[in-house]
Chains A and B, each alone.
Chain A
């Protein structure tokens, strides 16, 4: 039996007003996350994966900068239509976020305990002593040794891995239904990355929350995610279960990405596979399929018209005119 959908994003688009006109950073993104599942969102720089996550929490300046379209359904409400005051109750409470750079996301002038307590006191209305107790408990939960001592330390006194653990402790303090982790381990070493990923997996199982993991690293996705969405130039080009993505990728971009990862095991080819060309700028989005100029299988049809994200099998959806054909 499938768990309930806790988040459903329908046709989300986010445009930014810039000096050079309006740029549509993401265009018609639709996906959902179920309770207890980890959805991986992958793509290269500039594909819109972070914009998608920040749009879910509406972190952009709506007055001057950004315009949203579509729907973000969370617990029966459309987050895009929620007044700011209501939205603030969602952020950090029902939906929490962990950012890439823990040092710049933590406030340097407050102790880490204070920052965890803040969330608890605002959202849960806890008293100071009670919040402090809970903060220590959270630090213990995320595997920080001697939490009674650490709770009174400042971010600069902790190592990079510890800071990321504190970020996770803050995010999880109010027991969110959904955790958005935006490149949580990119700045960390592999041994620390392994620790943090194990922690996220462990907490995901224990607390049964949904996780949206944003990363550029397909190997991390292979290890922890149950489903994957691949983004290219502001659109989802493929969405499938993690085994399908790696065993039977449907979109030429997904195939290219997977073939260009240097592998740690198995056959080692003389040269790495490379995807031709570079990601175009947002101001120069190609006609038709956005990947067509770099695609080895592009035909006239691809250059003329944009394909839809269509199901090719039970759970796999692909945005490609050639998706039903045999893989190249």
Chain B
């Protein structure tokens, strides 16, 4: 990964809290869905965001493109902070950043024809002139995602799962964005359809120089699609590395657990599995110190007290773990990794 590639989106210390209201609407507590995440997306890359249910990966994806406003932190696209834009400016910015949702069925209006859904986007953004030109653009995009012209007149329910995801992709692409946030775009699909959609995503990226933020719970899918990977746990980014580095040498204990839990499609490999005790703690009252210390097989005294910061352990490989931070490595010479 070249260090001097252009940054499409830079997020710094982004937080997203959902307030829990008690009597009389008083905020009694917060669900800390995303708690201080910093990352940069480089032009033309796929950044894979992986983690389990409730780790905040989807919320982060939505917050980064301002579908839901961030509680704190800054998100910079083209030199402008998304959190400070007026709604009108944001609408303009939407051309640059788009989203593909997990369930294309519930994210498409059931009463509108597919063609009209796509035309509406062009109308809102005032792209293309009269009906004819916009229509041509829609037809072009349908062809790009592997749909036929007659699909223009169909409704969402008339499509199969894979085709619907193609429509979702067409909708994200039609404004010609730089960045697309793909939130679990293939998890609802069967393997054979999944590979079709993944290949389509890769082809489109190559052709248009798109940047993807690819959110998935499936490590194998992430491995195929992403150049860099970020691992999330309970609202925190705990590790970030180039894909091959992360799969070859996961540094954070949680990344190791996650990787060891993925079943391998080879009956001859018998993997040594690290079984994690207990369940995910509640993001309302996350554990103090390192959020993972309650389930971590290597937890030390310092983990309960201090939250580890993201630190580069190798070029392009960042980890938030006391096992890898300089001073604690001296205190605890025989750490387990």
Query: Which residues of A pack against B, CB within 8 Å?
Result: 44-45, 159-162, 189-191, 193-195, 197-198, 216-220, 222-223, 242-243, 245-246, 256-258, 260-266, 268, 270-275, 278-279
Contact assessment for B192 and A222 in the assembled complex, using a CB-CB cutoff below 8 Å: no
- Measured in the bound complex, the distance between the Cα atoms of B268 and A77 in whole Å is 37
Contact assessment for A272 and B224 in the assembled complex, using a CB-CB cutoff below 8 Å: yes
Contact assessment for B192 and A223 in the assembled complex, using a CB-CB cutoff below 8 Å: no
Q: List 27 A-B contacts (CB under 8 A).
A: A44-B192, A45-B190, A189-B52, A189-B53, A190-B262, A191-B258, A194-B260, A195-B275, A219-B262, A219-B264, A222-B263, A222-B266, A223-B263, A223-B264, A257-B192, A258-B265, A260-B192, A262-B198, A262-B218, A263-B220, A264-B223, A264-B247, A264-B259, A271-B199, A273-B195, A274-B192, A274-B195
Q: Kindly provide the distance from the CB of A139 to the nearest chain B CB, expressed in whole angstroms.
A: 16
Contact assessment for A278 and B223 in the assembled complex, using a CB-CB cutoff below 8 Å: no
- Measured in the bound complex, the distance between the Cα atoms of B221 and A262 in whole Å is 6
Contact assessment for B199 and A272 in the assembled complex, using a CB-CB cutoff below 8 Å: yes
Contacts of B160 in A (CB 8 A): 278
Q: Kindly provide the distance from the CB of A99 to the nearest chain B CB, expressed in whole angstroms.
A: 19
Top 8 A-B pairs, shortest CB-CB distance: A219-B263, A272-B195, A44-B190, A189-B52, A262-B220, A194-B261, A260-B195, A275-B192
Contacts of B273 in A (CB 8 A): 194, 198
Contacts of B259 in A (CB 8 A): 264
| Chain B residue at minimal CB-CB distance from A158 | B279
| Chain B residue at minimal CB-CB distance from A271 | B199
Contact assessment for A190 and B261 in the assembled complex, using a CB-CB cutoff below 8 Å: yes
- Measured in the bound complex, the distance between the Cα atoms of B262 and A20 in whole Å is 42
Q: Kindly provide the distance from the CB of A102 to the nearest chain B CB, expressed in whole angstroms.
A: 14
B267 interface neighbour in A242, A256, A257, A260, Cβ under 8 Å: A242
B202 interface neighbour in A222, A242, A265, A271, Cβ under 8 Å: A271
- Measured in the bound complex, the distance between the Cα atoms of B161 and A279 in whole Å is 11
Contact assessment for B264 and A278 in the assembled complex, using a CB-CB cutoff below 8 Å: no
Within 140-195 of B, Cβ neighbours of A (below 8 Å) are at: 160-162, 190-195
- Measured in the bound complex, the distance between the Cα atoms of B202 and A217 in whole Å is 23
Q: Kindly provide the distance from the CB of B79 to the nearest chain A CB, expressed in whole angstroms.
A: 34
B261 interface neighbour in A193, A261, A268, Cβ under 8 Å: A193
Contact assessment for A265 and B192 in the assembled complex, using a CB-CB cutoff below 8 Å: no
- Measured in the bound complex, the distance between the Cα atoms of B280 and A258 in whole Å is 32
Contacts of A260 in B (CB 8 A): 191-192, 194-195
A268 interface neighbour in B53, B190, B224, B258, Cβ under 8 Å: B224
Contacts of A262 in B (CB 8 A): 195, 198, 218, 220-221, 223-224
Contacts of A219 in B (CB 8 A): 220, 262-265
Contacts of B121 in A (CB 8 A): none
Contacts of B265 in A (CB 8 A): 218-219, 222, 246, 258, 261, 263-264
Q: Kindly provide the distance from the CB of B263 to the nearest chain A CB, expressed in whole angstroms.
A: 4
B269 at the interface (CB under 8 A from A): yes
Contacts of B264 in A (CB 8 A): 219, 222-223, 263-265
| Residue with the greatest number of chain B CB neighbours at <10 A, chosen from A256, A265, A278 | A265
Q: Kindly provide the distance from the CB of B282 to the nearest chain A CB, expressed in whole angstroms.
A: 10
B257 at the interface (CB under 8 A from A): yes
- Measured in the bound complex, the distance between the Cα atoms of B52 and A268 in whole Å is 23
Q: Kindly provide the distance from the CB of B12 to the nearest chain A CB, expressed in whole angstroms.
A: 29
Contacts of B161 in A (CB 8 A): 45
Contacts of A223 in B (CB 8 A): 263-264, 267
Contact assessment for A261 and B191 in the assembled complex, using a CB-CB cutoff below 8 Å: yes
Contact assessment for A278 and B162 in the assembled complex, using a CB-CB cutoff below 8 Å: yes
Contacts of A272 in B (CB 8 A): 195, 198-199, 224
- Measured in the bound complex, the distance between the Cα atoms of B268 and A222 in whole Å is 8
Contact assessment for B266 and A198 in the assembled complex, using a CB-CB cutoff below 8 Å: no
| Chain A residue at minimal CB-CB distance from B192 | A275
- Measured in the bound complex, the distance between the Cα atoms of B199 and A82 in whole Å is 50
Q: What 0/1 readout, one digit per residue, does chain B (193-223) give for beta carbons within 8 Å of chain A?
A: 1111011001000000000000001111101
Q: Kindly provide the distance from the CB of A221 to the nearest chain B CB, expressed in whole angstroms.
A: 8
- Measured in the bound complex, the distance between the Cα atoms of B263 and A266 in whole Å is 14
| Residue with the greatest number of chain B CB neighbours at <10 A, chosen from A217, A222, A272 | A272
- Measured in the bound complex, the distance between the Cα atoms of B198 and A271 in whole Å is 8
- Measured in the bound complex, the distance between the Cα atoms of B162 and A256 in whole Å is 17
Contact assessment for B279 and A162 in the assembled complex, using a CB-CB cutoff below 8 Å: yes
Contacts of B198 in A (CB 8 A): 262, 272
Contact assessment for B192 and A256 in the assembled complex, using a CB-CB cutoff below 8 Å: yes
Contacts A194-B273, A274-B192; is A261 near B263 (CB within 8 Å)? no
B276 at the interface (CB under 8 A from A): yes
